[in-house]
Chain A
Amino acid sequence: MNRDYGIYVVVALLVILIETFASNLLAIGGITPDLLLVVIVSFALQKGQLPGVLFGFASGLVFDIVSTDVLGSNALVKLIAGYCAGFFHREGASLQSSIGSPRFIGVLLGCALVHNAVYSFLYTRPAEIPFVAFYLKNGIAAALYTTALALLPFFYASRQRGEDY
């Protein structure tokens, strides 16, 4: 049980490093995927809402510090993502059953859309940037890109479970 938490923390730190050092390699047309969100949603689905909220907040805060983003902005949106994903938690779910189910993709897309909506709102609020246009271009595209990348762990986990999609 504790080993699971340790693995998630290590994976989250690795993902933060990847997003910090190699985000431009993953960018398509200026849109970058949010790999940390994938980790948070997986964690919340497997561990529950409260751990999801705490994990989302902590990892978002670390990301804020590393990425020079406004301190607290990613902490807020990531905890919201963990909170939303936690509603779909099933008691006793394993990592394979959490990630290897089509539900994971649906929950991730929903959480990514909410996450990006809140982030876009926070981002455009102090500036003269139209929120709706900004969200349609960046928020939705980034959510779809993140979900598309999450298909890789989904297919891997579903094969582990012995299910083919």
Chain B
Amino acid sequence: MSCYARLIEQFAEGVLSEEIAAYTDNYIGAHLSAIETTYPALYEQLGADTFGAIAQMYIRHHVPQSWDINLYGEAFYHWIRGQTEGGKADSFSWGTLARIAQIEYAISIAYYAKESQELPDGLSLIEQSEQDQISPDLLCALTKQHPYTDFQAYYDPKLPIIVWREGIRVQVRSVAHELFQALE
């Protein structure tokens, strides 16, 4: 390894190990902001303090692997679901919030997806479960926070959901199991 490469590596390690605190703060702050942007409805449901605490732990455990910061937070809904085992297990309906988070990430993927010739642009497939049904309250939160997205008035918890972009609008639709399986 060249001297230059070694210095770059040491600096990068210093940022992650909090030895270079100003840059560690920037790193956490930038990714926290990115997650807040991707998950606005979830942020609204949890509030700044709870959301911030969970997101900061997530950031410390998940390495950003794309130059595009808009794609960061892919596994955040798993992290949200995992809160059922945490200290605030009874404070929120974590399963339902994880479902909301999954939809919000899919919206972000569709929004930033390149145009595709074969599949609908930025297609994501989301399984549903009856215990995590999206309530009218949560649907309102999603609708308010995602102005470029078309939601249905009601999502049957027995049916899976697909998310994709059509022109300049993102679509979130329940579909039959047969279509879902075909898309899978």
| A and B bind | no
